[in-house]
Amino acid sequence: MQCIVNRRAQFSASHRYWLPELGEAENIEKFGACSRFPGHGHNYVIFISLAGELDEYGMVLNLSDVKQVIKREVTSQLDFSYLNDVWAEFGQTLPTTENIARVIWQRLAPHLPLVRVQLFEHPELWADYLGNGMEAYLTVSTHFSAAHRLAHPHLSQEDNTEIYGKCARPHGHGHNYHLEVTVKGEIDQRTGMIVDLGALYQVIDNYVVEPFDHTFLNKDIPYFAEVVPTAENIALYISNILRSPIQELGAKLYKVKLIESPNNSCEIYSTDSESTSASTAIPEPQLARI
């Protein structure tokens, strides 16, 4: 029986986004505060996912051995380092989150049966690399606060209460929504980026956070005048409105995850179609409630 196991590791390091072939003004325009000398630091967290058959001892691999490989090949070299100088690969392609994940894969692949390298630069920014050339995934997390009422506009209060319970109460209720947006694309050979991170944050802010924050969704967002603003429908709507502007940035929207509460969240996986529809299919599910 095949199983996937995950090993966590961490390191602290600094880096700087700076291309010597560009002038100071160009670097500042391209990378903003990340271009400042002498760089800035992060407490990075890595999750290494490994696949294999269970052996007679009930293990895919001896995790003590895995720990030593990760330490020898990655963390002992990167911890308390200046990433731009520590590995030759980062002289060619800048040490962005997504490119660090890619190079870590390259360092570990000869020694471990990798299926994924996930690297957190901080809790609201992380990258996933699956071993597919220069392709990677970048996720950013943000939040907004909004109220909603779960009630179909063409049903009676009694019918809505039967379907949605106390969520159908006339005055609605609120949530502190957490939103994760994952984009997919090719890592640029020089900048190390899938997408301009500042531009991505701006798109999410313009299209979602500012219009949604501190609103009553049923009344303030016209789409939800006729569509019940469940977490699923909100995530679906966000996916549909983000797809085109993210594509204009040179990346593809891969996933929208909306966390309504610690107990409820849902995920919408984007496709190349114009409008996403609900489904629970895997590996390309349109909707999966957790």
pLDDT of residue 165: 96
- Using the predicted structure, report yes or no on whether residue 287 has a pLDDT greater than 50: no
Alpha helices in the chain (DSSP H): 24-31, 63-70, 76-78, 83-86, 89-92, 97-108, 157-164, 197-204, 210-212, 217-220, 231-248
**Of 130, 129, 172, 135, nearest in space to 150 by CA:** 172
pLDDT of residue 216: 98
- Mean pLDDT, residues 16-45: 96
Residues known to be catalytic: 167, 214, 260
Give the residue range(s) of CATH 3.30.479.10 domains in the chain: 1-131, 134-290
CATH class of the domain comprising 1-131: alpha beta
- Bridge partners (DSSP) of residue 14 are 41, 82
Q: What digits encode the pLDDT tens for the residues 62-115?
A: 999 999 999 999 999 999 999 999 999 999 999 999 999 999 999 999 999 999
pLDDT of residue 277: 40
Q: Is the CATH code 3.40.47.10 the one for domain 134-290? A: no
Q: How far is CA 178 from each of CA 34, 41, 155, 212, 259, rounded to the nearest angstrom?
A: 25, 25, 30, 12, 5
In which element (H, E) is residue 142 found? strand 135-148
CA pair distance 148, 66, nearest whole angstrom: 47
CB 62 within 8 A of CB 72: no
CB 237 within 8 A of CB 208: no
Side-chain-side CA neighbours of residue 19 (13 Å): 21
